[in-house]
Amino acid sequence: MTEGSMRQVKSKKFKGRNLGLFTLAFLLLPFALLLTACAIPMVPYRAVYEDPVNYVRLEVDDAVLPEWPPSAHAHPKAMRAEDVARILGGISVKEDRIWLQRWLQGEAPLMPAFRPEELALLSQ
């Protein structure tokens, strides 16, 4: 082999390697864009309650325009504290029992959802 033909072979290998990297990058670019497009946007929030299964959090409502008055999220009917306490005091909860518990212990009793001190706090 002559020196000129060796240079030609080396340059072909180098071009082939670059072409492979370019092709790989070209194929991976849409995949990377697809992954970023499917990402869930992070919404700023303040967590009020969290456990492994449930959560309660406060989020900003983008549907409310800044120029609207703060009463845009207010209840349309003003309620007295006594009415709120009466409504919340009427809410009862019952433990969910499987059939074996019901057979052994009977039906679970109805319990008030809020204690008196919680009612006083929530109805202010």
Q: pLDDT tens-digit profile of 45-89?
A: 788 888 888 888 888 777 777 777 766 667 777 888 899 899 999
- Answer whether residue 91 is part of any domain: yes
Within-domain flag for 75: no
* Residue 47 belongs to a domain: no
- Domain of residue 106, residue span: 80-124
Interatomic CA distance for residues 40 and 18, integer angstroms: 35
Residue 18 maps to a domain: yes
Q: Is residue 46 part of a domain?
A: no
Give the CA count within 13 Å in the CB-facing half-sphere of 18.
6
Residue 16 lies in a domain: yes
**Is residue 110 situated within a structural domain?**
yes
Q: How many domains does the structure of the chain reveal?
A: 2
Q: pTM for the complete prediction?
A: 0.41
> Is 8 part of any domain?
yes
Cα torsion angle, 109, 49, 44, 76, sign = positive
pLDDT in tens, 14-37: 555 566 777 777 778 887 777 766
How high is the pLDDT of residue 62?
75
pLDDT of residue 73: 65
Q: How confident is the model at residue 2 (pLDDT cuts 50, 70, 90)?
A: low
Q: How far apart are CA 55 and CA 41, in angstroms?
A: 18
